[in-house]
Amino acid sequence: MNIHELSHYLNVPRDIVIVSHRNPDGDAVGSSLALGRLLRKAGHTVQMIMPSEFPPIFNWMPDIDRVWIYDHRPDDAIKAIQKASLIVMLDFNSLDRIDRMGEEIHHLTDTRTVLIDHHLDPEPIADLMFTEVEASSTSELVFDFIREAGWLSQVDLEVATSLMTGILTDTGSFKYNTRAVLFHKVADLLGYGIDLNELQIRIFNTLPVKFLRLLGYCLHRRMEILEEYHTGIITLSKEDYERFDIQRGDTEGIVNYLLMLQQVKFAILITEQPTIIKLSFRSKGDFSVQEFARDHFKGGGHRNASGGAIYGTLSKTVKKVKSLLPQYAQSLKSA
Ligand code: 5GP
Ligand code: MN
């Protein structure tokens, strides 16, 4: 199926499910809300589903109350997937990123599937794969998709705002993954009437007080710099989560602070979750955290931003990470 066949298929109203990844970020939420709204305006029945809750900073987003959280209503989510004639998957590259829903989608036979994504090494999980690793965000690609499918006339301020939110969060306000073409698209999106200054305030300057306290604690008490390996590590334990009342999303962005240090090229945040240890990796320069995450922590993502997870204890995980560093000493030095 190509994009024109899909566009033709959508000339009559269809039953569509849009699904994005666990621990949804601004790009997952923004791309889903934008495409969901546009397809609904075109007359389709659309259900957006995310495996787990999104951070409350996105509560203001247009149509956010239409999103189902799989963890809250698994049976409804599975039924919607079984009933859909088209499933659009956004911002992930393998079905294990959506847990049980991935298994369900894997076993479907008559349902059309589309993947729009910008992660490295996408698995062939859809009939139509609209992927580009150089793209800043899935939201940027959804905008491309809308244009190529001939749906631009359906874009409104709300669709544009959701796409801009995804672009802003995935680029860290245009710091990472920007290309000249992105700014052309951003200019087009602003043309729908977005107040960019107000949008940035909504996304980045509305944090609860506890976030800055947590950040201060991480930098003062939980940060370790391994000069020899140009690496910085921050760890957070279960007790820290309780002490600072940390919720999903509250640790977002903390790992990036390590990269502000001149000597740090590899930044690692290790957090103790209820059942797993989660790792966030960032890098600057050529060092591929995607390979590091993939080879040692069953993870992946992008060259300069990846994640992974492991079963075990926090201290064992920190030990494992440190024991891996010597073999990367040379590539970290030259990165
Ligand atoms: P974060 O560190 O913000 O959780 O994730 C950074 C990037 O890595 C995101 O693009 C995200 O999709 C990807 N990522 C995070 N965790 C995992 C994981 O467990 N597996 C895979 N394949 N990718 C991940
Ligand atoms: Mn993304």
Which pLDDT score, from 0 to 100, does residue 25 have?
97
Position 123 pLDDT exceeds 80: yes
304 CB near ligand 1 (under 6 Å): no
Summarize the confidence of residues 146-159 as an average pLDDT: 98
| Reduced DSSP (H G I as helix, E B as strand, rest coil) percent helix, strand, coil of the chain, to 5 | 45, 20, 35
User: Distances in Å between the alpha carbon of 168 and those of 138, 144, 183, 201?
Assistant: 11, 16, 12, 11
Neighbours of 58 (CB within 10 A): 23
Which pLDDT score, from 0 to 100, does residue 191 have?
98
Q: How far is the CA of 119 from the centre of ligand 1 (A)?
A: 9
Tokens representing residue 328 in the block? 């990367």
User: Distances in Å between the alpha carbon of 117 and those of 54, 111, 146, 235?
Assistant: 19, 19, 14, 30
Summarize the confidence of residues 251-275 as an average pLDDT: 96
Q: What is the pLDDT of residues 68-97, one digit of tens each?
A: 999 999 999 999 999 999 999 999 999 999
Summarize the confidence of residues 29-36 as an average pLDDT: 98
Ligand closest to the CA atom of residue 167: 2
306 CB near ligand 1 (under 6 Å): yes
Neighbours of 162 (CB within 10 A): 29
DSSP string, 119-176: -SS--S-SSEEEE-TTSS-HHHHHHHHHHHHT-GGG--HHHHHHHHHHHHHHHTTTTS
Summarize the confidence of residues 136-150 as an average pLDDT: 98
Q: How far is the CA of 228 from the centre of ligand 2 (A)?
A: 32
Which pLDDT score, from 0 to 100, does residue 247 have?
85
Neighbours of ion ligand 2 (CB under 5 A): 27, 91, 137-138, 170
| pTM of the predicted protein model | 0.95
Mean pLDDT of the chain: 97
Residue nearest to atom 11 of ligand 1 (CA): 301
CA torsion sign for 167, 172, 177, 180 is positive
Tokens representing residue 140 in the block? 């940027």
Q: How far is the CA of 177 from the centre of ligand 2 (A)?
A: 11
Q: What pairing do the DSSP bridges indicate for beta strands 67-69 and 45-50?
A: parallel
**3-class secondary structure, 94:** coil
Position 248 pLDDT exceeds 80: no
What percentage of residues in the chain have a pLDDT greater than 90? 98
What's the rounded Cα separation, in Å, for the pair 38 and 146? 9
Q: What is the pLDDT of residues 161-218, one digit of tens each?
A: 999 999 999 999 999 999 999 999 999 999 999 999 999 999 999 999 999 999 999 9
What's the rounded Cα separation, in Å, for the pair 127 and 142? 17
The answer to whether 27 and 138 are in contact (CB under 8 A) is: yes
Which pLDDT score, from 0 to 100, does residue 249 have?
82
Q: What is the pLDDT of residues 206-227, one digit of tens each?
A: 999 999 999 999 999 999 999 9
Summarize the confidence of residues 266-284 as an average pLDDT: 97
Which pLDDT score, from 0 to 100, does residue 331 have?
96
305 CB near ligand 1 (under 6 Å): yes
Domains annotated for the chain, with CATH where assigned, are 3-204 (3.90.1640.10), 209-334 (3.10.310.30)
**326 DSSP 8-state letter:** G
User: Distances in Å between the alpha carbon of 80 and those of 39, 212, 307?
Assistant: 16, 40, 29
